[in-house]
């Protein structure tokens, strides 16, 4: 639930040099980034190129960018890693986010273009920070807050950490969500009073970051994981799996057998004579979206 989904889109468009060009979204329409890309394009007066849902990876996405003469593309880092780094003479700007960068991604795509790292969860209306243009060999920094957003890197007592010291990332500002629909407990846990503004709230992202001057994303400070841009709680999936009468215990982990290809894998201890492959999927399929269903049960 957001109070202002369009907040700051015109400022963001100017910061990333988006005007009357051709912008494409490399995200799925059920991902919040897709909505943000549409709003940014409208604010800038740009033409929106919408690839088909079967054209969002690899060679297929490359052909769309080339054929439609796309000048600006917004794409999750794992998706960009699947696209062959070939010559795209019209492409001048990339907005990349959604996950940790695979090794070599900046080296492949930054030369000759403006490549920005965009960071921000759904709870802060898609984008909270944007970096300066990235250079080859650089570890992408989180960057600086977009207009209307404040960023804090705090310790366990909600005190600002020293420069370069790891802490948890908190966000506040006009783009902050009101909370989770029908989730008062989680809302109270994640959206807390901001000690740096009267009556203001801030969102606990669960991201571990090193404060200025490095401003680097380090890892998750909680057990949440990110798969193809979706933030997922493995514990929720484990609870659903163990609710099945044929499962006594379950652990859900992220496997990355190939660089950039993260998958959820569930390890279950079945009841004697119970099937693990077919039956363990049943309760999850009924309850969750596809991004939260383990692709393999062992």
Domain of residue 187, CATH code: 2.30.38.10
CA gap 121, 244 in Å, rounded: 31
Is 80 exceeded by the pLDDT of residue 156? yes
Label residue 163 by pLDDT band (50, 70, 90). Answer: confident
Same domain, 80 and 204: no
Coil/strand/helix, residue 201: strand
The count of C-alpha atoms lying within 13 angstroms of the C-alpha of 124, restricted to the half-sphere facing its C-beta, is: 25
Is the residue at 279 inside a domain?
yes
What is the pTM assigned to this prediction? Answer: 0.70
Label residue 230 by pLDDT band (50, 70, 90). Answer: low
Same domain, 134 and 45: yes
Coil/strand/helix, residue 296: strand
Label residue 13 by pLDDT band (50, 70, 90). Answer: low
How many degrees, rounded to 5, is the angle at CA 176 between CA 215 and CA 185? 105
Is the residue at 1 inside a domain?
no
CATH number of 240's domain = 3.30.300.30
Is the residue at 260 inside a domain?
yes
Same domain, 204 and 154: yes
**Domain's final residue, options 197, 220, 243:** 220
Same domain, 94 and 206: no
* Per-residue model confidence (pLDDT) at position 289: 47
Same domain, 171 and 268: no
Is the residue at 227 inside a domain?
no
Same domain, 15 and 137: yes
Label residue 28 by pLDDT band (50, 70, 90). Answer: confident
Maximum average pLDDT range among 138-147, 151-160, 228-237: 151-160
Please report, to the nearest 10 degrees, the dihedral formed by the alpha carbons of residues 236, 237, 239, 245 taken in order: 160
* Per-residue model confidence (pLDDT) at position 211: 66
Residue with the bigger pLDDT between 6 and 268: it is 268
**Domain's final residue, options 145, 162, 196:** 145
Coil/strand/helix, residue 263: strand
CA gap 209, 170 in Å, rounded: 10
Is 90 exceeded by the pLDDT of residue 109? yes
- The overall average pLDDT reported for the chain is 78
* Per-residue model confidence (pLDDT) at position 193: 95
Same domain, 159 and 272: no
User: What percent of the chain lies above the pLDDT cut of 90?
Assistant: 24
Report, as an integer, the average pLDDT of 281-294: 49
* Per-residue model confidence (pLDDT) at position 127: 83
Same domain, 291 and 254: yes
Is 60 exceeded by the pLDDT of residue 218? no
Reading the block at residue 116, the tokens are: 């920005």
Cis peptide before 188, with omega less than 30 degrees from 0? no
Label residue 217 by pLDDT band (50, 70, 90). Answer: low
Same domain, 20 and 117: yes
Same domain, 14 and 141: yes
**Domain's final residue, options 112, 127, 145:** 145
* Per-residue model confidence (pLDDT) at position 97: 85
Residue with the bigger pLDDT between 237 and 177: it is 177
Domain of residue 284 covers 233-297
* Per-residue model confidence (pLDDT) at position 212: 60
Report, as an integer, the average pLDDT of 161-169: 84
pLDDT digits (tens, 9 = 90+) for 245-285: 777 777 777 777 766 667 788 888 777 665 545 554 555 55
Domain tally for the chain? Answer: 3
CATH number of 57's domain = 3.40.50.980
Label residue 106 by pLDDT band (50, 70, 90). Answer: very high
Same domain, 131 and 13: yes
Label residue 15 by pLDDT band (50, 70, 90). Answer: low
Reading the block at residue 83, the tokens are: 């696209």
Reading the block at residue 21, the tokens are: 């060009």
pLDDT digits (tens, 9 = 90+) for 50-68: 888 888 888 999 999 999 9
Residue with the bigger pLDDT between 10 and 241: it is 241
């Amino acid at each position: 639930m957001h109070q202002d989904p369009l907040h700051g889109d015109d400022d963001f468009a100017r910061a990333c040099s988006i005007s009357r060009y051709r912008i494409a979204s490399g995200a799925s329409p059920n991902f919040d980034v897709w909505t943000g890309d549409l709003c940014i394009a409208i604010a800038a007066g740009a033409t929106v190129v919408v690839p088909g849902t079967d054209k969002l990876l690899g060679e297929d996405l490359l052909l769309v960018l080339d054929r439609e003469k796309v000048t600006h593309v917004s794409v999750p880092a794992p998706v960009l890693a699947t696209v062959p780094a070939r010559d795209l003479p019209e492409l001048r700007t990339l907005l990349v986010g959604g996950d940790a960068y695979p090794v070599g991604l900046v080296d492949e795509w930054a030369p000759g273009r403006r490549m920005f790292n965009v960071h921000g969860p759904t709870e802060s209306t898609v984008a909270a920070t944007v970096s300066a243009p990235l250079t080859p060999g650089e570890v992408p920094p989180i960057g600086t807050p977009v207009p209307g957003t404040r960023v804090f890197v705090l310790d366990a007592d909600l005190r600002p950490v020293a420069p370069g010291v790891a802490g948890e990332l908190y966000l506040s500002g006009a783009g902050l969500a009101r909370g989770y629909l029908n989730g008062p407990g989680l809302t109270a846990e994640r959206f807390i009073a901001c000690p740096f503004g009267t009556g203001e709230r801030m969102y606990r992202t669960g991201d571990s970051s090193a404060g200025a001057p490095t401003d680097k994303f380090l890892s998750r400070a909680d057990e949440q994981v990110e798969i193809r841009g979706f933030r997922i709680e493995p514990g929720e999936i484990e609870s659903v799996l163990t609710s099945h009468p044929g499962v006594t215990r379950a652990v859900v982990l992220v496997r990355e057998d190939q660089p950039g290809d993260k998958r959820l894998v569930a390890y279950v201890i079945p009841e004697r004579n119970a099937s693990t492959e077919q039956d363990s999927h049943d309760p999850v399929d009924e309850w969750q979206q596809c991004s939260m269903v383990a692709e393999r049960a062992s």
